[in-house]
A and B are shown apart, each in its own frame.
Chain A
């Protein structure tokens, strides 16, 4: 069946499943390739609300939400193959897969959607010092242990980070009877927006701002962490460390493949239709950039699926369109290219800046401003600009300038 598919979707998380539903409902033969034993993506092991408000018009727990997305894609006629790993993607398009039953196989669909999601930065990627005891893990691993295995890896962890996922980690810990000893944030204020940022205090967990984790201590297990704020260093007893956030696209398939990768996001370079540098490949969801909510990824998957339907009918403008450059202080932009044309799949330019921003954020070509807005934004907050109405030539740049 997979062998005869017109569209292969890599990854059965919210973006991939939303796209599968749209494409299958339009009568296309769709196969979703999921490397885990169960489809649904990260929400499978986020056992707290709120999921599904946009998709199902009611608050749901992550696992129920994941099951509902899978059921909808299946009901629309999509085939979902779990425990099937894509080992390579090649021009053609060709998708190399491996599974327990068949070993290595190849499929040749007309279009491929890459929806492989994102993962948190590991301890190594954060250059944390100290020893290497057991009990240091990302939120993803913690929630997998809690909600897939029903195991509690520690009782009194430190949670590092204050993005939304840190509060998810906090709720997971409390829900499983663990008592985090502190949340640590290197910045001077929580990264997540109010009201999530109020949660720890309400639950009696201290939030240490302007504080870095310098070292992890312990033999077989974590015994404590060394923290630093300004010139002060001190030790805090803890039996685990949850390293949350700092998501990076899971783009391992793209790095060795022929597709252009954006070093700024770590994901594939796309145009406003979600189309990669090889127009037979599209990408949607968190593989495009750090992290958005499941609902945002779901909406993105639906929009890009519509663009894929148009591509099958020859209805998309020819690519690749001009690449948007980034001025000083800006971290990344998605989409990276603008092909021009009606009904873009991504309605806005998504941007991120590492530091706090104040002034006028504008997309310009030479002296001409194509789109712009005034803003005052905290670090790591989501920024958006209107999509330019027509194709860009190379040389357009997003800049941050003084108010005016």
Chain B
């Protein structure tokens, strides 16, 4: 792999380690506060760890532990997403969620969950009996006993959001170095010197947003870690677009101690998603798909929405959540406040990222820690949501390359360009949806290999043979 990005030079106000959704949001917030920021990512492209696979829901925090830092960050993050998303070109599908009890025992747990939601500031919930559920969700199995509606739960694009955060950070002077792993570092009382195989960087503050490797980075730089990552795998199956019409809402089960449980929901791209599982493992990087589990997820989806049984699975994926032994986020400072560790951002990181970033900025003394720009820039990212205006509708698009997701040549070339250009096939997929449709590359692999040849730090198999 040949890193494409130059290594940031000079004195930095803040160095963010890890370009997942949390790192991207923190880089954005600090850059908007006027800090001179760099962000390091060991993967070939951003969003290469926990942020690459999740359920793409913007949560309200209705079921988060009351009084927790996690809840505060979700509430703040949700609110800021709604406030900024139009200026950045980010989609929002206000699907709303139905929390559904499938047994009398689960139904008995609903009043406490609704009380918790209200205590968490989510006051617009609405109890539903079995008839209400069927009216709200016509394709739902008649075995549903009772539930409640959470109108604020929404669907977003889990990849365009962090891309936009980072694009705005870069628009305010931040720099990104992908393919750059932190190998060591020391604090001299005034500045951190952070080592990488490509050279050293100097920064007044270091923010560890290394997700699945967060405790390792703490130990590397501080000699100890205040938490231990316990990777928790989540497998998902994705059904083809015709299935999306079966679910109007995000369909949530009654959660238990470990997990929010298996969710059925649309995606902003117009598919239907069933997942995740919650499986503890030790490997921090490798998330294996298990055929029996995928089949069980598809079957569980068809129990919830019986008509799903006739629909085709078009994709499957497994993500890893950076869970810890703790229930809450672990956001701490060290080395006289010059080191911030942002750990244990488990399944709610996408919803909470902007809130976490504001919290971290506060720990750095913002606002007022740096000279904030008088006027903010708002770069827009591509809105790939189903039904949104797309590039193929305007002339000069160069032809459609990925037919299933209607991705044009112009979109692909655009996604390869600039300081945030894709550096791996996975990164290109996340930016454009190319090859992510029902054919999974049957038709367009050759064309995409031609377009990406010589452009990716991690070349596409078949583009270099």
Contacts and interface: CB of A to CB of B under 8 A. Distances in A.
A124 B462 CA distance: 20
Contacts of B463: 151
A339 B392 CA distance: 39
A100 B401 CA distance: 11
B362 interface: no
A327 interface: no
Contacts of B438: 122, 252
A120 B441 CA distance: 10
B318 to A, nearest CB: 8
Interface string A249-264: 0101001100000010
Contacts of B449: 145, 149, 151
A153 interface: yes
Contacts of A277: none
Interface residues of A, number: 53
B442 A35 contact: no
B324 to A, nearest CB: 24
A35 B403 contact: yes
A136 B352 CA distance: 35
Interface stretch (A125-133, A310-318, A360-368): A125-133
B385 to A, nearest CB: 16
Contacts of B24: none
A145 B289 contact: no
A137 to B, nearest CB: 6
A373 interface: no
B440 A124 contact: yes
Given A119-B443, A149-B449, A100 B398 contact: yes
Interface string A110-121: 000000000110
A293 interface: no
A57 B422 CA distance: 49
The interface centre, meaning the residue of A45, A98, A130 with most chain B CB atoms within 10 A of its CB, is A98
A123 B290 contact: no
A116 to B, nearest CB: 10
Interface in B422-465: 425, 438-443, 445-447, 449-450, 458, 460-465
Contact of A98 (B290, B400, B447, B465): B400
Contacts of A130: 288-289
A35 B392 CA distance: 12
Given A122-B314, A140-B443, A85 B395 contact: no
B446 A125 contact: no
Contacts of A151: 449, 462-465
B288 A98 contact: no
A176 to B, nearest CB: 10
A138 B441 contact: yes
A131 B287 contact: yes
Given A85-B400, A120-B442, A98 B461 contact: no
A354 interface: no
B223 interface: no
Given A128-B289, A263-B310, A35 B400 contact: yes
A153 B288 contact: no
Given A85-B403, A120-B442, A145-B449, A154 B465 contact: yes
A145 B444 CA distance: 10
Interface in B211-257: 237-238, 240-242
A252 B402 CA distance: 13
B368 interface: no
A396 to B, nearest CB: 23
A150 to B, nearest CB: 10
Interface string A133-172: 1110110110011001101111000000000000000000
A387 B465 CA distance: 50
Contacts of A102: 395
A255 B317 contact: no
A49 interface: no
A124 B316 contact: yes
Contacts of B287: 131
A37 interface: yes
B446 A149 contact: yes
A127 B313 contact: yes
A103 B442 CA distance: 25
A129 B465 contact: no
A132 B317 CA distance: 8
A92 B394 CA distance: 24
Contacts of A263: 310
A214 B291 contact: yes
Contacts of A37: 399
Contact of B446 (A103, A145, A214): A145
Interface string A290-326: 0000000000000000000000000000000000000
B395 A100 contact: yes
A103 B465 contact: no
Contact of A124 (B238, B399, B446): B238
A101 interface: yes
Contact of A129 (B240, B289, B461, B462): B289
A240 B315 CA distance: 19
B393 interface: yes
B237 to A, nearest CB: 8
A75 to B, nearest CB: 26
Contacts of B442: 119-120, 122, 138, 140-141
Contacts of B242: 255-256
Given A99-B399, A103-B394, A131-B287, A145 B445 contact: yes
A122 B439 contact: yes
Contacts of B465: 145, 151-154
Interface string A12-51: 0000000000000000000000011100000001000000
Interface in B401-431: 403-404, 406, 425
Contacts of B395: 99-103
Nearest to B311: A263
B286 A145 contact: no
A189 interface: no
A101 B362 CA distance: 51
Contacts of B240: 255
A93 B67 CA distance: 60
B445 A144 contact: yes
Contact of A87 (B392, B440, B450): B392
Contact of B399 (A83, A104, A120): A83
Contact of B461 (A138, A149, A153, A255): A153
Interface of A: 35-37, 45, 83, 85, 87, 98-104, 119-120, 122-125, 127-135, 137-138, 140-141, 144-145, 148-149, 151-154, 214-215, 220-221, 240, 248, 250, 252, 255-256, 263, 266
6 contacts: A99-B395, A122-B315, A125-B314, A137-B462, A151-B463, A152-B465
Given A125-B312, A135-B462, 4 more contacts: A99-B399, A119-B443, A124-B315, A141-B441
Give 9 nearest A-B pairs by CB, closest first. Answer: A144-B446, A134-B461, A122-B440, A153-B462, A141-B445, A103-B395, A152-B465, A83-B399, A119-B442
